[in-house]
Structure 1
């Protein structure tokens, strides 16, 4: 039998290390978030259902989004050991300019609706992290306001081409005047996708005060208080709109866009031009041949055509077809720094995240976005170190094995 004795205080004291008390409720809430999935759960609790579903949801059965996330979840990493590497360097080059991390913040619409601090909060975090930020045509902060709020951020402007080209020309001129580095032309919206969650929720901009939303508001008083006591929600690049998102997209966006329109955009914008929404090898090649500087393999986060290709699965074929020098970005389904690293290993030049930082924004405003960025950055560093990759350039296709499409069991 073991001998027993009462412990001495000097022996107990090193073991008793109480967790520091965090008085601020937002800081305390965010400190408990270890993953982007944790931030998503916080966001869902703190945001009205229709707003959360608009952010979280996708088109129709949401298969395009779920397949993208399953692809990242089911891949296998192949680490190299005894590589002799020490510190990890996460810097890379995006559009010819250094970036501190291999991901950036992609454009998202209606950001102040998700949380009142909106686009400026996201852009300021991007500046601190040393990564680009894309402002959407359907943003709730205009070009000049964002430039003033985040003057040091690498700012890209995401453009939709409308049936009337004149507003697009004005937006491009404003972006240039306010120091935006690049233009990102989105080309996968000839019509708006059918987002069933939004239809069922009666989602509209601005949110309508129905019996259902009033009841939901009672469960989320902080969101509604911020919504009602901050400047009215509006589309910063549109005069006004009163209706559903799908109705607006169908009324404004030009379904007749062709490569000729791409030539027109290229002639109107003399800075770096990114084309977002590419989903085939043939389109990727044609778009670069027509003067684009970069492409984004994207199915719009699964929000347009359901059952669309999974961008990260398309990536190796596009990289092989276009060669090592083409600038190929990728998005959709990215929920961790490990996902970012996998995409880079498979041939991406950089990765764009959207929902990941929006979950942080809804969970805690600018501090929540910062928490999301910190989580992703730490996961990138840790994954690279565990793979034996000292630099982003060390990441190679042999580090990643994609599971066959459809191999996952039904869940």
Structure 2
């Protein structure tokens, strides 16, 4: 694994390895993929302003999330169907998270079950990403299983009344390979995704089973059936963030679904400051994902108000290249780059990273 010295190295190796349909599914964004590119480019428009001669002899990059300590402010976002990347899939990913002391979020649409993932890494801090199905009993049972298996939070995806137009998936008539199934379900729900008809099998699955009529009242229903904290994933507006908090969410994950839902929306790092400002007087924890590929990206997100960031595709690239070891390599690269950034920028702890540590490039345009 030592030959991979950046997340880009892992990405390049993974894209050369994966079958075309799987590769395209993991890497693609919505329609013209403008936002997909912006998720990364927006980070490049931010400048870190290091403090000199601070006397930083060591740094501590750990942080606390919902009262529990994690080794660094980087966790693993939910991504679907990980056994397409590696035979061990989600179980390898969560073992890596456990070994590195970071949060792992399991997707509802996983190829390893809630229970398999819990058994694979009993000491890992695990959250469960949730979609709300037309049949509320399906959703209620998923929540109950997650609670019983020791998951610490529910991550409700709020930006998916339907799946965005991903042209590569339509062209490839993407579906889950026949030897795999959606492991959190039995019978028809576990294999329905194979029945593609026209276009993408995932689109057809979501179209027929997810509830488009959802409102913020659904948070109240969730709170009536669980004591777990609820994180709203997919928020890009300040007013929606306030609605999420008022409905009972304890966390907000600023996300544009990896730029896979609607093209032309803001990058997540662009959307973050508005949401930070909107909820500054509320007791809520803010997270962010999208386009994070370096330790300096993580640092910039922390400076703009994120409690921590989550990464999805980088974990898939590491998983593809080397299973658990590959994911651990990915996390170690982030850890190393983040430690360097803390030290050179003159901020020994997460608490020392304040908003004045970054500026938009436009602040320097007059020079």
TM normalised by structure 1 equals 0.84
**Aligned partner of 2:169 among 189, 198, 201:** 198
Q: What is the aligned partner in structure 2 of residue 294 from structure 1?
A: 251
Q: Which residue of 1 aligns with 2:181?
A: 234
* Residue aligned with 1:277, SS: strand
Give a deviation string over 1:236-289, Cα, whole Å, max 9, x none.
123322221111111111110001111101111111111101110000001101
Q: How many residues are aligned here? A: 352
Moved over 3 A (4+): none
Q: In the alignment, what sits opposite 2:54?
A: 83
State the Cα distance separating 1:403 from its structure 2 match.
Answer: 3.6
Aligned-pair CA distance for 1:64: 1.3
Alpha-carbon offset, residue 317 of structure 1: 1.9
Is 1:138 paired with 2:89? no
Matched position secondary structure for 1:316: helix
In structure 1, what is the Cα distance between the partners aligned to 2:95 and 2:81?
A: 17
Tell me what 1:178 maps to.
149
- Structure-1 separation of matches of 2:101 and 2:356: 28
Q: How does 1:49-68 map to 2 (within 5 A)?
A: 49-68=20-39
Q: For 1:113-132, list aligned pairs within 5 A.
A: 113-132=84-103
1:5-404 to 2 correspondences below 5 Å: 30-206=1-177, 232-238=179-185, 239-241=190-192, 242=194, 243=196, 244-323=201-280, 325-403=283-361
The CA distance in 1 between the partners of 2:360 and 2:67, in whole Å, is 29
Q: Quick check: 1:71–1:403 contact (8 Å CA) kept in 2?
A: no
Measured against aligned partners, the alpha-carbon deviations of 1:279-302 in whole angstroms (never above 9, x if no partner) come to: 100000011011110010100000
Cα distance in 1, alignment partners of residues 45 and 272 from structure 2? 16
The structural deviation recorded for 1:176 is: 0.7
**Aligned to 2:262, what secondary structure does the other structure show?**
coil
Give the TM-score, by structure 2 length. Answer: 0.93
Say if 1:59 and 1:194, in contact at 8 Å, map to a contact too. yes
- The 3-state SS of whatever aligns with 2:233 is strand
What is the alpha-carbon distance in structure 2 between the residues aligned to residue 318 and residue 54 of structure 1? 29
> Quick check: which has more Rg, 1 or 2?
1
Q: 3-state DSSP class of the match of 2:335?
A: helix
- Alignment gaps of 5+ in structure 2: none
The Cα shift of 1:235 comes to 0.4
**1:17 is matched with which residue?**
none
Structure 1: tracts of 5 or more residues without a match: 1-29, 208-231
Deviation at 1:67, TM superposition (A): 0.6
What is the CA distance between 1:323 and its match in structure 2? Answer: 1.2
Give the superposed CA RMSD. Answer: 1.3
